[in-house]
Amino acid sequence: MKKILEVKKLKKSYGDFVLGPVDGSFPGGVIVGLIGENGAGKTTFIKSLLKILQAEGEIQFFSNKKEDIGVVLDNSFFPEILTAEDIHKIMKNIYKNWDSSLFFSYLEKFSLPKNKAIKNLSKGMRKKLEIVTALSHHPKFLILDEPTSGLDPVVRKEVLDLFLDFIQDEDHTILLSTHITSDLEHIADYILFLDKGKVVLEETRDVIMDTYGILKCGKDEFSKISKEDVWRYSESRYGYEILVKDRDKIKKKYPNMIVDKITLEDLMVFVVKGRIL
């Protein structure tokens, strides 16, 4: 599979906070979901990739052209006095690959006005304008920070479909950071999970959704569970919930206990808030 981006020993320090070291390879034709709670290092990682922040380590994009990278950063865009028409005029002079017809077709598709100032657009409309601007210069690598924030479910589905269409070309890759983990359950190929600046999980979405699980049991049953089977656990007045990495294996080993499927949100909560034996 063709590589689009590779990072080696990427590290960035902010006082007491340290991101990394992070190693990873991003192939073409995939969507990589970047997850973690606020302050986990997601935005620092993205800004380090873009050289907005100077970090240690090696970052290699397998393209020498900056215009091959499309970016949508959270709360970062053009001056609010500009209109979509103004953006078009600016971008066509910046990007050789700027596609005017594609840009205006996106405006029509998402009902975005050409001559209305950004300051007068809703949050959702601003986000759509950011996304279509990033897509309209035909990038190969899209870096998206909370791209569906503020969008209603119908428009969010349209945007996610755009992303899926984009990565049908194996020269295209998306790194998508979001708190809407249900979106990633539908479209992500890989999950990169950061917690306190460290990579705690790098796995395919299918393995996580099909293999990981939550074992539920009472206090007496909990004492019988092998430590090696417990990745994280939580306790409540109703009993114990345990994050396990091999749902089928655990079902066979503890046939009288309940083992449920997991969501990415469950995974985040357990890893961040769960306890370790």
How do residues 103-136 score in pLDDT, each as one tens digit?
999 999 999 999 999 999 988 888 889 999 999 9
| Same domain membership, residue 14 and residue 100 | yes
pLDDT at 99: 96
**Number of Cβ atoms within 10 Å of the Cβ of 127:** 23
The share of the chain scoring above pLDDT 90, in percent, equals 71
Q: Name the residue among 158, 149, 72 with its Cα closest to residue 109.
A: 158
How do residues 23-71 score in pLDDT, each as one tens digit?
988 889 999 999 999 889 999 999 999 989 999 999 988 776 778 999 9
Question: What is the average pLDDT across 199-216?
Answer: 95
Q: Which domain holds residue 63?
A: 3-204
| Same domain membership, residue 235 and residue 167 | no
Confidence of residue 1 (pLDDT cuts 50, 70, 90): low
| Same domain membership, residue 247 and residue 146 | no
Residue at a domain's end among 186, 204, 222: 204
| Same domain membership, residue 134 and residue 70 | yes
| Same domain membership, residue 15 and residue 148 | yes
**Inter-residue contact 145 to 74 (CB < 8 Å):** yes
- Residue 186 tokens read as 């539908």
| Same domain membership, residue 267 and residue 172 | no
Count of domains observed in the chain: 2
Residue at a domain's end among 204, 236, 265: 204
**Inter-residue contact 177 to 42 (CB < 8 Å):** yes
Measured in whole angstroms, the distance separating CA 59 from the mean position of its chain's CA atoms is 19
Burial class (CB in 10 A: 0-12, 13-18, 19+), 80: exposed
Question: What is the average pLDDT across 229-246?
Answer: 93
Return the DSSP state at 140: S
| Same domain membership, residue 236 and residue 101 | no
Give residues with Cβ within 8 angstroms of 65, minimum separation 6: none
pLDDT at 138: 93
The span from the CA of 234 to the CA of 255, in Å, is 21
Any idea which of 1-5, 21-25, 85-89, 210-214 has the lowest mean pLDDT? 1-5
| Same domain membership, residue 100 and residue 65 | yes
pLDDT at 198: 94
Confidence of residue 73 (pLDDT cuts 50, 70, 90): confident
The span from the CA of 223 to the CA of 221, in Å, is 5
Residue at a domain's end among 156, 183, 204: 204
| Same domain membership, residue 79 and residue 130 | yes
Examine the pLDDT at 74 and tell me if it is beyond 80: no
| CB under 8 A, 24+ apart: contacts of 91-95 | 91/133, 91/136, 91/137, 94/67, 95/67, 95/137
pLDDT at 84: 96
- Residue 8 tokens read as 């080696």
Confidence of residue 251 (pLDDT cuts 50, 70, 90): very high
| Same domain membership, residue 131 and residue 48 | yes
